[in-house]
């Protein structure tokens, strides 16, 4: 396991099988890990070096490809597509190269709370190119915390 995935927001790790949405808990989009953000978490950051390949129209999801070509999706919250971009400010552009820790998205968690939506942030390997993950659970994830290895 040579590839490290760093904390993509401050908070507590959550294994995907504990996410209330079956799309993530049953790994329909792929395997990965989630972080439940804490009050200090304002930004979603790059979990590794790579290239941005997607910013959803509703800004609740960002795609990033590793330097080795593995495709991941960062999905911010559950049912947040309903917000139609409200509360999300992209800080990067498609095809932009990023380093681990680069701020990708600013999130206004109060807006998500005001709509009573789940704030979990999921990171999934959406091209199924990775078959083995090592999860690192933590109650205090920071940008330099390794949360996953593959």
> Any idea which residues carry the catalytic annotation?
75
Give the torsion through C-alpha atoms of 80, 82, 85, 89, to 10 deg. Answer: -20
Question: What whole-number distance in Å separates Cα of residue 52 and Cα of residue 43?
Answer: 16
What order of strands is seen across the sheet that includes strand 121-125?
Answer: 11-14, 32-37, 121-125, 71-76, 61-66, 50-55, 97-98
């Amino acid at each position: 396991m040579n590839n490290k995935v760093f904390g993509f927001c401050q908070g507590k790790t959550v294994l995907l099988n504990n996410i209330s949405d079956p799309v993530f808990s049953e790994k329909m989009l792929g395997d990965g890990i989630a972080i439940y953000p804490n009050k200090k978490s304002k930004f979603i950051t790059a979990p590794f070096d790579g290239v941005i390949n997607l910013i959803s129209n509703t800004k609740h999801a960002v795609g990033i490809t590793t330097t080795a070509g593995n495709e991941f999706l960062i999905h911010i919250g559950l049912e947040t597509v309903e917000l139609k971009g409200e509360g999300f400010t992209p800080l990067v552009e498609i095809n932009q190269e990023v380093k681990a820790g680069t701020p990708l998205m600013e999130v206004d968690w109060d807006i998500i709370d005001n709509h009573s939506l789940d704030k979990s942030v999921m990171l999934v390997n959406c091209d199924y190119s990775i078959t083995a993950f090592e999860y690192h659970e933590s109650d205090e994830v920071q940008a330099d915390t390794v949360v996953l290895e593959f």
